[in-house]
Structure 1
Amino acid sequence: METTLSERKKQILKTLVDDYIRTAQPVGSRTISRKHELGLSSATIRNEMADLEEMGYISQPHTSAGRVPSDKGYRFYVDHLMQVQALKMEEIRQIRDAIERKINEINTLIRRASDIISSITGYASVALSPSLSKASLKSVQVLPVDEKKLLIVIVTSAGVVKNHVIRVNNEIEINHDALTILTNYLQKKLNGLIIENIELPLINDVQTETGVSDEIIDPVMEGLKKCMQEADDTELIMNGITNLLNHPEFSDVIKVKELFELFNEQHTIKSLMSAAMKKGKINVQIGMENEHEVMRDCSVVTTVYNLGDTELGTLGIIGPTRMYYSRVFSAMNYLRNLINSEILRIINDE
């Protein structure tokens, strides 16, 4: 696509997109000629803009108006023309103050990150807490609660703790030595295994190898299974949805109502964010590239945060297609790197 535009057309398109992002007003040839030192006459710029319109990069909303970028124009701008803007020192300080507070739980870290990125960019933010199916099991504990209840606790390599309380048969006496034996057995069998690959041992095999009653083993294994299922569940985190109302693109009450209703469909938004995990460090979906019709006036910028080489979850920004892409990219890149380093700190502290 890049080779279809001359350097002059690229320069004009970049100038037009930058101006429109900043002002939300259609941009005319005289404006470009007067405000920017391109060394081109108004007539030349007008002719180039007519070509860009014919090629589908810009459009003219009204006969006498200037031009605005199309989805195709934004895509070319993001892929080839955009200059990522460095964050201001004050913004860096805000992000670091929000994140570097010795948070000791990854879900809390991601909630804090979602909140600060929404505040910094002025758009809505969406995040998925860690998907742990590819994390490994770090610890398993079977602990007594009272005479008839046990607590199953697992800790993943991502530092996430899940637990489940189980009840044993009223006629069974809970023996603390048996629980220690069972804990040690499960630790030996399961620790270090990837959660999505774990197949729990058969109850008969556990009984044979540990000598623990199957009436204790059975509920323990059920509790362990539920803990691992919960470890794979992701939490959807959303912040700053009402920020969208500050942008003129969302002045249509009916469109905004439809968009907000979509945000309430957690399964749909989770699917959108999960799909973004397969698309690299920073992914951008612009306007018509979005699957859902009510998001055709939106752009979605997502990034993936990691523990080493393991992708844990996704952080994203939703705003108008007239998004300040260069600023969003800069903030997302900085925040992703900070999240990754904080996750490593949490794991090492564990």
Structure 2
Amino acid sequence: MELPERKKRILEAIITYYIRYAEPVGSRSLSRLYNFGISPATIRNEMADLEEMGFLAQPHTSAGRVPSETGYRFFVDELVKSRRFLELRKQGRKYLINRLKEEKAQGIEEIIRLTAQILSEITNYTSLVFGPQVTKSSFNQMRFIPLKDNKALMVVVTDMGLIEDKTIDLPEELNVEEVERVVEYLNKRLKGLTIDEINRDLFLSELRSEVVRKAGILDEALNMLSGSQRLKGNIVLDGRTNILDQPEFKDMEKVRKILSIFEREEILIDLMSDFDDIVVRIGRENPVEEVKDCSLITASYEVHGKSVGTIGVLGPKRMNYSEVIAIVTQIAKELGLALKHQGE
């Protein structure tokens, strides 16, 4: 829906005010704080129109107005469309990269933990980081180490440095030299493909038709990666109780419901499974009942041009969208770079 420019400016002013003060605002306050060049009576009429259109709500008859979810959605869509949130990124801040250097963080788990901590510290909201999905990462190489009793240690490495190893029984029909040739062949054939791509039935059929005897070792490697609990992305949270600092959440029953989902990883994964560039879900747009009074901003992070995970911030519908979108976008970019270097 399009809005006339004046209504748009008034709506943005009301949202800006409410984000800052968490209080309804009236026409006189808007007239005093913002230079609209029109009378309070005209502002009041415009606010009445915006309320009738569903962009504003009036908590009490004598109170001023507050933004509705529809108002927030319009504001966010305009914000993203105009890319105004990029202003923070242009300042060249390096939140994550600088902290990683300061704390000499190494290893994927430590990087993910620190990312969640920084997001929470900067925004003062609850942060969520969905660790890199092994099926979204790319095959880098397979290593093969012969052991005793016709066994071998198989090691698979992805482009993010994710490593999984498993002791396997060697196929009876293959000696060590033949297995090493198989591994060399698979390294050349699979390098750069994601685990999802390798797992596609058509690709596997094609590969098996080329070298039937190699399929056994290939299956071992794929089963190792697909079934690995250690490599499956998990959700890391920080700032769980930050929601208590928000004036909207003085109702402890409402807070209890929100806090309860932080212990249910399957729900958090559902919330964080959208791998789009930037996603803003406001109130009832969230698929989980417990967070219907919240907004969730998520962004995917990339390694070697592929989205492999997401980071997000959960806060009140009154959150500072322009700032949080900018921060989440920036840190997602830096996280991808950090994981790329980790795998090199």
| Common fold by TM > 0.5 | yes
- Which residue number in structure 2 is paired with residue 296 of structure 1? 292
- Which residue number in structure 1 is paired with residue 74 of structure 2? 76
The 1:327–1:191 alpha-carbon spacing in structure 2 relative to 1, beyond 3 Å, is closer
Alpha-carbon distance between aligned partners in 2 of 1:272 and 1:94, rounded to the nearest angstrom: 24
- Which residue number in structure 1 is paired with residue 309 of structure 2? 313
- How many angstroms does 1:263 deviate by? 2.5
Moved more, 19-28 or 225-234: 225-234
- Percent identical among aligned pairs is 38
Written as runs of structure 1 = structure 2, the 5 A alignment for 1:80-95 is 80=78, 83-84=84-85, 86-87=87-88, 92=93, 94-95=95-96
- How many angstroms does 1:30 deviate by? 1.4
Gaps of 5+ in 2: 199-203
TM-score with structure 2 setting the length: 0.83
Moved more, 312-321 or 126-135: 126-135
- Which residue number in structure 2 is paired with residue 24 of structure 1? 22
8 A Cα contact 2:125 2:242, kept in partner: yes
- Which residue number in structure 2 is paired with residue 267 of structure 1? 266
- Local SS of the residue matching 2:312: strand
Alpha-carbon distance between aligned partners in 2 of 1:265 and 1:64, rounded to the nearest angstrom: 42
Written as runs of structure 1 = structure 2, the 5 A alignment for 1:188-203 is 188=188, 190-198=190-198, 199=204
8 A Cα contact 2:137 2:160, kept in partner: yes
Q: Which runs of 4+ in 1 moved over 6 A?
A: 88-91
- How many angstroms does 1:179 deviate by? 6.1
- Which residue number in structure 2 is paired with residue 213 of structure 1? none
- Which residue number in structure 1 is paired with residue 153 of structure 2? 151
The 1:165–1:125 alpha-carbon spacing in structure 2 relative to 1, beyond 3 Å, is farther
CA-atom RMSD, angstroms? 3.2
Gaps of 5+ in 1: 210-216
Matching residue within 224, 241, 261 for 1:227? 224
The 1:35–1:285 alpha-carbon spacing in structure 2 relative to 1, beyond 3 Å, is same
Alpha-carbon distance between aligned partners in 2 of 1:67 and 1:249, rounded to the nearest angstrom: 15
Amino acid at match of 2:301: Y
Written as runs of structure 1 = structure 2, the 5 A alignment for 1:171-250 is 180=180, 183-184=183-184, 186-188=186-188, 190-198=190-198, 199=204, 223-230=220-227, 233-250=232-249
* Cα deviation digits, residues 284-334 of structure 1 (max 9, x gap): 011111122221111110111112331111111111100111110121222
8 A Cα contact 2:159 2:340, kept in partner: no
Aligned length: 330
8 A Cα contact 1:107 1:130, kept in partner: no
Alpha-carbon distance between aligned partners in 2 of 1:289 and 1:97, rounded to the nearest angstrom: 35
Alpha-carbon distance between aligned partners in 1 of 2:21 and 2:68, rounded to the nearest angstrom: 16
- Which residue number in structure 2 is paired with residue 212 of structure 1? none
- How many angstroms does 1:240 deviate by? 1.2
* Cα deviation digits, residues 180-215 of structure 1 (max 9, x gap): 45644543554444322333977xx665x7xxxxxx
- Local SS of the residue matching 2:134: coil
TM-score with structure 1 setting the length: 0.82
